[in-house]
Amino acid sequence: MKQAVILAAGEGQRLRPFTVTRPKVMLRIAGKPILQYVIDSLAQNGIRDIIIVVGYRKEQIFDHFGNGEDFGVRITYVIQDNQLGTAHALQQAKNVTGDKFLVLNGDNLIDIGTIANFISVTPPAILVKQIPDVGRYGIVSIEGSSVKEIIEKPSDTHDNLINTGIYAFTREIFNFIGEYLDIPDVVNAMLTQNQTINSVETPGTWLDVVYPWDIIRLNGSIINRIPAKTGGTIETGAILKGKVSIGKESIIKSNCYITGPVVIGENCVIGPNVCILPSTSIGDNVSISPFSVIEDSVIGDEVIIGSSSIIENSVIDKGSILGSHFNACKGETEIKIDEEYHKVMVGAMIGIGCTLGNNSLAEPGVILGNYSHVEAMKIFRGKLDDRSKVY
């Protein structure tokens, strides 16, 4: 298997506000877009002929990846003008695929081991994985090693083998797509026509990003893989423990305490007297003022965090400015997205370019839209649209 088709055309509406300005595959985790981790895993498995199906805000993917040369691969782009489904997306690549190929989603986190054994399977085949919570996935019913059916979001979740959305196909798949819009429906149609479809179970990393808080979960998984690195200046009295990666030209001022895994980008100014705790990634050109504490969070590029702030289990997007004594502590809360209710332990989800006044407080689970403004000493909660104003 030497070719892969990556499906990367979708917006990811349930991830708003973070996908209003970018496709979900370009969400940055520990300094890199999710799609880059997929491409890296393919390249390390010897798959360097890559077709990417793009659509929503496709220019950002073009600009970052180009022809793939900088990433050790060769990329061909195919456009899906209307994001109708995964089978429809794959159909757009019909004219550029070879005799056999992998199909993957660009918004799933995988590592080199996830697909290492799958690339030698006889297609057609599906990569499956056992997970404890299967409610939002398609369940794969198998007999021996053969797939019998894919059941999307079943009411009975006795089985715990899920469809990862990673497939091995030959060009024969295009004979079955027809009017079907999603690949699981195509697979089920193939099975009704007595096609044999193999299953391969992976113990490797497979994580998807569907909701805003999934960004924190993916960050926690990725950041453990990143080796320690010191590319900046560590002032006397700063303490670094565990795997801490610091980008060039960043300054860690005196009396900061950082315990990894932590990733800090380039040209950042941290401290003095700042505490950064595990599973935190910080982008480029970030400023964190004294006596602030950050834990298990994703901080975007060009964010400014005022003094004595506390940020836990949160995502703060690019260019947001947080006044002093900002508080986003984690707590268990119920969040409604698209008529679905989710109970999660989370802090705040804050979009691009927001400004938050001094002593403002984000209740657990708040989702603040892009370019919103919160006055000093205000509490904000719930889901707030882009350009909201809290007085």
What pLDDT was estimated at residue 155? 63
What pLDDT was estimated at residue 43? 94
Q: Dump pLDDT digits (tens) for 100-150.
A: 999 999 998 888 888 888 888 889 999 998 887 766 777 888 888 888 888
CA–CA separation, 20 and 386 (whole Å): 9
What pLDDT was estimated at residue 291? 97
Asked if residue 285 lies in contact with residue 301, where contact means CB atoms within 8 angstroms, the answer is yes
CA–CA separation, 19 and 13 (whole Å): 7
Find tokens 């997306």 and name the residue: 89
Residue 222 burial class via C-beta count within 10 angstroms: exposed 0-12, middle 13-18, buried 19 and up: buried
Across the chain, how many H-helices and E-strands are there? Answer: 6, 41
**What backbone torsions phi and psi does residue 91 show, to the nearest 5 degrees?**
-60, -30
Instruction: Check pLDDT > 70 for residue 353.
Output: yes
List, in order of start, the domains of the chain with CATH numbers: 3-210 (3.90.550.10), 222-390 (2.160.10.10)
What pLDDT was estimated at residue 159? 64
Rounded to an integer, the average pLDDT of 257-283 is: 96
Rounded to an integer, the average pLDDT of 290-311 is: 97
What pLDDT was estimated at residue 160? 77
CA–CA separation, 198 and 301 (whole Å): 43
Q: Dump pLDDT digits (tens) for 58-93.
A: 999 999 999 999 999 999 999 998 888 999 999 999
Find tokens 């600009």 and name the residue: 63
Query: What pLDDT band is residue 156 in, cutting at 50, 70 and 90?
Result: low
CA–CA separation, 381 and 361 (whole Å): 9
Residue 153 burial class via C-beta count within 10 angstroms: exposed 0-12, middle 13-18, buried 19 and up: exposed
Q: Dump pLDDT digits (tens) for 45-65.
A: 999 999 999 999 999 999 999
| Amino acid (one-letter) located at 331 | G
CA–CA separation, 309 and 327 (whole Å): 6
Share of the chain above pLDDT 70, in %: 98
How much is the mean pLDDT over the chain? 91
What pLDDT was estimated at residue 157? 58
| C-alpha dihedral sign at 263, 265, 267, 270 | negative
Rounded to an integer, the average pLDDT of 24-36 is: 91
What pLDDT was estimated at residue 40? 93
What pLDDT was estimated at residue 285? 97
Q: Dump pLDDT digits (tens) for 172-231.
A: 999 999 888 999 999 999 998 888 899 888 888 888 888 999 999 999 988 988 888 888
